[in-house]
Structure 1
Amino acid sequence: MPDTYQELPPLRRTVRQLAAAHRLPAELRARLVLSVSLLAGQHMEAGRAVTLSTCYENGPQEATISLAVTLHCSESSAPLLLPDLPLPAQAVSQDTAAWHIPLTDPAQPPGAAMTEADAMEEELRAALARADSFEAEHRRLKHELAETNSGVLALYVQLEERDEQIRKAHGRILQELEDALRPQPIKVDGLELAVHYEPADTGAPTGGDLYDWFAMPDGTVHITVVDALGHGITSTRSALNVTHAVRTLALEGHPLQSIVARTNEILMPLDRELMATVLLARINPSTGDLHLANGSHPPALLVRTDHTCEYLEARGRGIGYPLPGSDGLHHARLNPGDLLLLYTDGLTESRRDPLEGEARLRTSARRHLDKPIAEIPGAIADDMLTVILHPDDTLALTARVEDRRSRSDLPAAHRDR
């Protein structure tokens, strides 16, 4: 029979005794008591009574029974509010809520009556046990998380070590590729050669600045300096095509002045996008005779042993340019100890002012004139690239006719340097 309550303590006591009699677990009992109290309390505070009733219902599965606990507030004019309860309830009507609790063993007779104090103590022990289990689970999860973090950190360390190994291997491969593309100085009696190359992008050291040097059948030395448009692998391919075509034409005996134009005729049908500047030098080590052919390339710089400088101008247009070819040859004579510097525009245009770059290049070349030939290109590049506002591939190539005179044969000014 339904019972009416106007205060919470007797309502709690009734629900607790009912749950204990039906052998509900202490935690479930505590949730039911707390939920009924929370729902009834909002009405009792307004002075309204509530009615509690219970009955048995058939469960959703065969041979199962549920205990239905229903709370009714008939005097309420507002809908019954169901807050977030420890044990969720179902709204039966506007002023009625119900809990449907499956009975684990409906055939089992009701248990012995428990005092409210004993029931509350049992519920408290269940709550504490649940809290302890949560704490134990929390400790276990923290331990597992610590182990996971340790494993992740170790994995990061391994990945970093592996990444460093890959970077080193990548660097070695790129260096080997660069060494394969850039020929080492040839050994020619009476002529010293050296080169320095610095890419605009250190991750792609095979840019469009390339060189080639080889000895001709007549004993002269041919030098090619190419600056193909762009950076990276694509420009490297273009520069390689130019150097290979020039080498083939030179060894076939084509006149130096015609090689730029003939190279354009050979390559343009294969690559219409190709654009490259070219500077060709032909040096006779025994006499010092120098001939230059130019296709839109920066002029060579000649530094005499007395530290006077001149840019060796030769007019012409590069590969892929309108009317490609060298208009003529520039002739000069290298005396023993004179330094010839061939370079690409990345050396003089790092600060966007070519004239200022050419002036600094003259100063730097004079400063390093008397150094060993192998050190000169790199030293000049260090001077020129102290400030880089316009990054570009950079090539500096030096040639010097050996001065075989003893130091006692040199003028006093040179002996004192």
Structure 2
Amino acid sequence: MRPDLARIRRRLRTACAEAGVPADDRGRLVLAVTLLAEPALTAGETVDVTTAVSDHRLAVTVRLDHAASRDALPLLPERGDGETLTWHLTGGRRVAPADPDDDRATREEMLALVARADTLAHEQRDLKHELAETNSGVLAMYVELEQRDEQLRRAHAAIFRELEDALRPRPPAVPGLELAVHYSPTDQDSPTGGDLYDWFVLPGGRVHVTLVDAVGHGVTSTRHALTVTHAIRTLALEGHPFRDLIAHASRTLAPIEPGLMATVLLARMDPATGRTEFANGGHPEPVLVTSAGAARLLPAPIPGRGVGFPDPGSRELVDVVLAPGDTVLLYTDGLVESRKDLDEGQARLLTVAAAHRALPAASLPRELVTRMHDVVLHADDTVVLALRRTPAAGAH
């Protein structure tokens, strides 16, 4: 993110905290100003943002070099001529400052916005049902509701685009390793769900991957999955043993989120040697596809249990060495349970993965989902991750 855009976002969040503006309204304001300021700053233009807090009310004014459209903004300004736009927000008691990390603050705002949108959607459905039982005068109100629907859909589109970026990180660039992902939600209109992943490079160059499938649906499962990925990332970067990460995360989160339950699959790969370890907490087994064409599951000798389950943790690690051209597939159960038969789904996955091993790693996850979901008797969120060691991994 450009430094000047980051400063604008921090300034808005600080002013919102002083005025007591809640996280969902803060998120709509920050996103609206971002959508206006980012293209202007990229074009080298000037963006002036001023804030004023008085008696739990916040006034924000944005001045641009050129007029900008405000139709698709998630929070419309109260007035403005296109070049100068002004918002007034009412707060309450002073709230805690936003997280100084922009990504974490954005996640907090996006989750609050999704929760608010979910509440509004329920309220809107209830209202439509009540209106359907009234007299013919509801027709004019239906017209107004349709207009609100359209505004809400446009706001959702902007919110969901930023939420996708916050919840689903892009793969890190690692020499000797190709990483790819495809996510297929149950509801195509919403990116939220309990299937989340995280990947990052550890000090020393090894790549850590976390795949989580939280029990439940909707915003709550998203929050639970995000909590698990953050906990494991923190523990991993603190240097806790790989074998103990799932159990340690479960013990850490138990008093904070007593209702949280999630299966977890961890992978840790050294791109230089191809050595890859897996820790499995109740998750479907990963698949190894060799460059020669063979595909097999990598089950743990003693299955482990996930976060929030009794006696959690990975009982045994699975250790394999990937040759150049070999690919490991990590996935959630939505990939193999579309026909309501896990064993049949995993057998079919081995056949499909072997048949399409020659595809570029970037295309493989999407192709697997397309082939595996040719018949869907049970719809569920699906994440597929591909990790392929390339010949450059062993080159010096």
Q: TM-score normalised by the shorter chain: which range applies? A: 0.5 to 0.7
Question: Is structure 2 residue 344 aligned with structure 1 residue 359?
Answer: no
| Unmatched 5+ stretches in structure 2 | 1-138
**8 Å Cα contact 1:293-1:326 kept in structure 2:** yes
CA–CA distance in structure 1, aligned partners of residues 152 and 385 of structure 2: 32
3-state DSSP of counterpart to 2:159: helix
3-state DSSP of counterpart to 1:400: strand
* TM-aligned CA deviation for residue 165 of structure 1: 4.7
**8 Å Cα contact 1:231-1:393 kept in structure 2:** no
CA–CA distance in structure 2, aligned partners of residues 252 and 313 of structure 1: 28
Question: Is structure 2 residue 287 aligned with structure 1 residue 301?
Answer: yes
The aligned counterpart of 1:84 is none
The aligned counterpart of 1:320 is 308
* TM-aligned CA deviation for residue 389 of structure 1: 1.0
**8 Å Cα contact 1:204-1:232 kept in structure 2:** no
Stretch deviating more after TM superposition (201-210 or 370-379): 201-210
Among 182, 191, 199, the residue aligned to 1:205? 191
Instruction: Select the structure with the greater relative contact order (CA < 8 A; seq sep ≥ 6).
Output: 2
Question: Is structure 2 residue 385 aligned with structure 1 residue 401?
Answer: no
**8 Å Cα contact 2:295-2:351 kept in structure 1:** no
* TM-aligned CA deviation for residue 365 of structure 1: 1.1
Question: Is structure 2 residue 364 aligned with structure 1 residue 347?
Answer: no
The aligned counterpart of 1:196 is 182
**8 Å Cα contact 2:175-2:392 kept in structure 1:** no
The aligned counterpart of 1:379 is 367
3-state DSSP of counterpart to 1:325: coil
The aligned counterpart of 1:248 is 234
Structure 1 letter corresponding to 2:296 = E
Residue pairs, 1:78-227, within 5 angstroms: 160=146, 163-227=149-213
Among 222, 233, 249, the residue aligned to 1:263? 249
The number of residues matched between the two structures is 254
CA–CA distance in structure 2, aligned partners of residues 362 and 175 of structure 1: 33
3-state DSSP of counterpart to 1:292: strand
Q: Structure 1 269/158 Cα, relative in aligned 2: closer, same or farther at 3 Å? A: closer
3-state DSSP of counterpart to 2:158: helix
* TM-aligned CA deviation for residue 172 of structure 1: 2.8
Structure 2 letter corresponding to 1:221 = V
Among 258, 262, 266, the residue aligned to 1:272? 258
CA–CA distance in structure 2, aligned partners of residues 226 and 159 of structure 1: 38
CA–CA distance in structure 2, aligned partners of residues 268 and 160 of structure 1: 44
The aligned counterpart of 1:332 is 320
Structure 2 letter corresponding to 1:317 = R
CA–CA distance in structure 1, aligned partners of residues 226 and 305 of structure 2: 19
CA–CA distance in structure 2, aligned partners of residues 376 and 169 of structure 1: 32
Q: Structure 1 162/367 Cα, relative in aligned 2: closer, same or farther at 3 Å? A: farther
* Percent identity of equivalent pairs: 55
* TM-aligned CA deviation for residue 404 of structure 1: 4.1
Structure 2 letter corresponding to 1:250 = A
| Unmatched 5+ stretches in structure 1 | 1-151, 406-417
3-state DSSP of counterpart to 1:346: helix
TM-score (structure 2 length as normaliser)? 0.61
Structure 2 letter corresponding to 1:397 = L
RMSD of equivalent CA atoms: 2.0
CA–CA distance in structure 1, aligned partners of residues 337 and 238 of structure 2: 35
CA–CA distance in structure 2, aligned partners of residues 156 and 330 of structure 1: 58
Deviations along 1:197-241, whole A, 9 cap, x unmatched? Answer: 111123432100000000000110000000000111100110011
3-state DSSP of counterpart to 1:247: helix
* TM-aligned CA deviation for residue 318 of structure 1: 0.6
TM-score (structure 1 length as normaliser)? 0.58
3-state DSSP of counterpart to 2:319: strand
CA–CA distance in structure 1, aligned partners of residues 288 and 226 of structure 2: 27
3-state DSSP of counterpart to 1:243: helix
In terms of Rg, which structure is larger?
1
Deviations along 1:297-316, whole A, 9 cap, x unmatched? Answer: 00000000111011111221
**Deviation above 2 Å: which 4+ runs of structure 1?**
155-166, 201-204
CA–CA distance in structure 2, aligned partners of residues 404 and 325 of structure 1: 34
**8 Å Cα contact 2:246-2:313 kept in structure 1:** yes
